[in-house]
Structure 1
Amino acid sequence: MSDTLEEFNEGLIRFIGESPTPFHASKSMAEQLAAAGFTELKESESWTLVPGERYYLLRNGSSLIAFVYGRESLIDSGIRMLGAHTDSPCLKVKPNARVISAGYYQLGVEVYGGVLLSTWFDRDLSIAGRVTFRSANGSPVSRLIDFVAPVAMVPSLAIHLDRDVNRNRSINPQEELRPLLMLADDDPDKFTFPALLLAQLQKQYPGIEVREILDFELSLYDTQRPALIGLRREFIASARLDNLLSCYLGLESILAAKGDQSCLLVCTDHEEVGSASACGARGPMLDQFLQRLIPETSDRLRALDASMMISADNAHGIHPNYRQKHDAEHGPLLNGGPVIKVNANQRYATTSETSGLFRLLCDDLGVPVQSFVSRTDMECGSTIGPITAAEVGVKTLDIGVPTFAMHSTRELAGSQDAYALMRVIRAYFARPRAPGRFDGQ
């Protein structure tokens, strides 16, 4: 657990650097929870959950729920929930991955989520994800792989061959985003992508027996490590700040939970593409967990009435070079504190009551609070907040840490904001009064 700003940022940098895919992020969180005494729950088994104990659950290897079963009554005190997502926009490898062009081996890739395409050029890229194969006994087995070293690049076209590139550039993701792997052999069939995966499996898991590569879910990622930057080290630059930053502060918060109040962290996959999957926020994962926790419908609804969900996802900081893209009265500053996200059309699930409670928590800790509202003439993004509120029926707040270059391969956030938000979430998890019930209702 991180008790100082320096410890927190060191842990955040390490966590993001070791989590190139949702599978790796979920595995890392699960390992830290297990080391802290959390018991793993298997969905294939029956459960007997005991107040005072701590649990975690994985689904698809890419989504996770961590739960502290408090000693206080669930019906009276509810559950303090925090939601985040494990996925980030990226380039994913296509099933027939090998492409041969002009004497080079390349990778066929597909765009995942709202990628800032231009930021993927001229980066030292590696490959990571999950591989499923036929094992020695004939059964399917999955393992995570990570090449770690840079093995690919998407080279830009020289300006001499495109004189208008700085005035008018559009990117064709099918034709122009294929990463370069190596020179092609005289016999082009000498290299196959399954053979490359087999070699990587044998490197990472010595002695493993693989009869056949069946399939894979692999992503490209930038190998540049996260770093504290700026003359005063005021900023953190990294890939996947959206939204592994929120996953990490949620993890650090629930690891510090004392155990009197019930609290829950849910980190789901596929938010960047709509969350509609078995392990996404639009799927049944959280609702099914709550059903097994509180089987009786009336009791579960009463507990939800006393509960609250905070959806933690990055917010847009006001960009000094593009101030006209922001509402002048709602431009969060990096290191200005966590941001309450508001949208009249329910792209965010914030209400006056949920934001009011958050402001009280921040005020008690001396943490400044900011607000974000999109320009009225611009469309607003969304989060798992409205989805969870609709699927589960729990009062919800959307908050986040102000960020630049969201969905780039290299995003930028303040080096103080995530730690400040973690302090607020720890107080929220420990709050003795049912957060979902408000006076005057």
Structure 2
Amino acid sequence: MSSAPVRFDRGHTDDLMSFLAASPSPFHVVANTAARLEEAGFRKVEETDAWDGTAGGKYLVRGGAIIAWYVPEGAAPHTPFRIIGAHTDSPNLRVKPQPDFGREGWRQVAVEVYGGPLLNSWLDRDLGIAGRLTLRDGSHRLVNVDRPLLRVPQLAIHLDRGVNDGMKLERQRHMQPVWGLGEVNEGDFVAFVAEESGLDAEDVAGWDLMTHAVEAPAYLGRDRELLAGPRMDNLLSVHACTAALVAVAGAGAAGRDDLTYIPVFAAFDHEENGSEADTGAQGPLLGIVMERSVYARGGGYEDKARALAGSVCLSSDVGHAVHPNYGERHDPTHHPRPNGGPILKVNVNQRYATDGNGRAIFAAACEKAGVPWQSFVSNNDMPCGTTIGPITAARHGITTVDIGVACLSMHSAREMCGSEDPHHLANALVAFLDA
């Protein structure tokens, strides 16, 4: 049974804004993604259970990572995969194991800088706290204090007359937020967070907590042609990938038998600090899922090798739009612009995994979807960032293409992109998966 192609429009961007606001930590990203998959008929599987080879949508959660896939009716063990990949984490400030301290009568929270944020973007900004608490019985509780709670105060210009000629922020000394006045008591902060979650402090055995800006996503510009919001790197891609997978698996319980690939969505954690984690792209999770899927459908090693040899991955992450005030920092012949469609990211030194074959695959998907697309290449004099793309290609031997959406203020507490590009990306992903 087949289904008609899905076309996303501006409503997709409206929904992205809600997703961004509701997902202040990787654990919330995973929970919200899982809820959308469940609503579409996907069922959760546990790593510790035996898997079956039945058709339909399935997903697996490990910490801040989630992998979902759809097995078409009649899929052979050697059926290749079409994978769309993203990551759930964003640069921010994360709470240390002993959070309570203070100076000069101020109560502060000890934080560690996570990833590579634009530190100045976290100054003088109202911050909330979110993440998960680990309880003594081993269970977890999500927490989201989504109101102004903390602030990293900047030094007044009267006390730093040269600040506008160059600001140097020390991560340890200058990035510790305040959250009140008075005497510092050990355990106060975690007790507060526990109470916000309806728990006693004694119930809490561990925590993974982080700051987030509480300002809501918003449209900008005369014609609302721009979108500003937190964590678009890389929740914009997570949201688009989820929507695309659900759209392709839209036949639901009736079962699709027209797909020639098994569509997969992999959202990893810890990309912003190198992906070396059990929930990161450097870890074994994606390989385990693909291998167990092959074996659950009665296959063996030869079937797995055939499936991987025919598989393709689109690694979707944001890229740099040309900056109007710093045009010289960009490649002179490649200037991606907002609302110009998704970008194809190329780096011959394999900071991105795209090659000529990948370009052809991506171009075909965009043509099929009827969306524009652009190319991104770094200025030769600038270091080039990287993604989960080269990791996926090297670890699994899968043809991989790096794509994304062009944005400004990457790694800021608040980023910006074109308001049309999120649904352009989602439509391209649908066309790629629906093969």
By the TM > 0.5 criterion, same fold? yes
Aligned to 1:169: 167
**Match status 1:293 vs 2:293:** yes
Aligned to 1:244: 235
The answer for unaligned runs of 5 or more in structure 1 is 203-207, 432-441
Q: Among 399, 410, 414, which residue is 1:410 paired with?
A: 414
Aligned to 2:80: 78
Report matched runs for 1:32-431 at 5 Å. 32-51=36-55, 53-60=56-63, 62-71=64-73, 73-74=75-76, 78-134=80-136, 139-185=137-183, 188-189=184-185, 192-202=188-198, 211-258=202-249, 259=256, 260-261=258-259, 262-295=262-295, 296-431=300-435
Q: How far apart, CA to CA, are the structure 2 residues paired with 1:68 and 1:236?
A: 31
Give the stretch that moved more between structures: 288-297 or 239-248.
288-297
Task: Give the superposition deviation at 1:198.
Answer: 2.4
Q: How far apart, CA to CA, are the structure 1 residues paired with 2:340 and 2:194?
A: 48
**Match status 1:24 vs 2:24:** no
Query: Contact (CA 8 Å) 1:127, 1:146: kept in 2 or not?
Result: yes
Task: Give the superposition deviation at 1:191.
Answer: 6.8
- What TM-score results when the alignment is normalised by the length of structure 2? 0.93
Detail structure 1 runs of 4+ shifted over 6 Å in the superposition: none
Q: How far apart, CA to CA, are the structure 1 residues paired with 2:48 and 2:127?
A: 37
Query: Contact (CA 8 Å) 1:75, 1:306: kept in 2 or not?
Result: no
Q: What amino acid maps onto 1:373 in structure 2?
A: V
Query: Contact (CA 8 Å) 2:321, 2:406: kept in 1 or not?
Result: yes
- What TM-score results when the alignment is normalised by the length of structure 1? 0.92
**1:167-187 CA deviation, whole Å, 9 max, x = no partner?**
0210011111111101114xx
Q: How far apart, CA to CA, are the structure 1 residues paired with 2:192 and 2:123?
A: 23
Q: Secondary structure at the match of 1:140?
A: coil
Q: What amino acid maps onto 1:228 in structure 2?
A: Y
Task: Give the superposition deviation at 1:2.
Answer: 8.3
Q: How far apart, CA to CA, are the structure 1 residues paired with 2:372 and 2:14?
A: 23
Q: How far apart, CA to CA, are the structure 2 residues paired with 1:393 and 1:74?
A: 20
Aligned to 1:205: none
Q: What amino acid maps onto 1:35 in structure 2?
A: E
Q: Secondary structure at the match of 2:422?
A: helix
**1:127-173 CA deviation, whole Å, 9 max, x = no partner?**
00011122xxxx23321101111111111111000000000210011
Q: Pick closer, same or farther for the CA change 1:344–1:190 going to 2, 3 Å.
A: closer
Q: Pick closer, same or farther for the CA change 1:155–1:301 going to 2, 3 Å.
A: same
Q: Secondary structure at the match of 1:281?
A: coil
Q: Secondary structure at the match of 1:150?
A: strand
Q: Pick closer, same or farther for the CA change 1:190–1:355 going to 2, 3 Å.
A: closer
Task: Give the superposition deviation at 1:212.
Answer: 3.6
Task: Give the superposition deviation at 1:76.
Answer: 6.5
Task: Give the superposition deviation at 1:15.
Answer: 0.5
Q: Secondary structure at the match of 1:126?
A: strand
Q: Pick closer, same or farther for the CA change 1:74–1:273 going to 2, 3 Å.
A: farther
Give the stretch that moved more between structures: 256-265 or 75-84.
75-84
Give the stretch that moved more between structures: 70-79 or 82-91.
70-79
Q: Secondary structure at the match of 1:355?
A: helix
Q: What amino acid maps onto 2:202 in structure 1?
A: R
**Match status 1:9 vs 2:5:** no
Q: Pick closer, same or farther for the CA change 1:378–1:190 going to 2, 3 Å.
A: closer
Q: What amino acid maps onto 2:18 in structure 1?
A: R
Task: Give the superposition deviation at 1:71.
Answer: 2.9
**1:193-219 CA deviation, whole Å, 9 max, x = no partner?**
2321221121xxxxx566342111100
Q: Pick closer, same or farther for the CA change 1:191–1:421 going to 2, 3 Å.
A: closer
Q: What amino acid maps onto 2:309 in structure 1?
A: D
Q: How far apart, CA to CA, are the structure 2 residues paired with 1:2 and 1:180?
A: 47
Q: What amino acid maps onto 1:109 in structure 2?
A: V
**1:304-337 CA deviation, whole Å, 9 max, x = no partner?**
1221000000010010100010001111011111
Q: What amino acid maps onto 1:343 in structure 2?
A: N
Aligned to 1:438: none
Number of aligned residue pairs: give it: 418
Query: Contact (CA 8 Å) 1:133, 1:210: kept in 2 or not?
Result: no
The answer for unaligned runs of 5 or more in structure 2 is 250-255
Task: Give the superposition deviation at 1:378.
Answer: 1.4
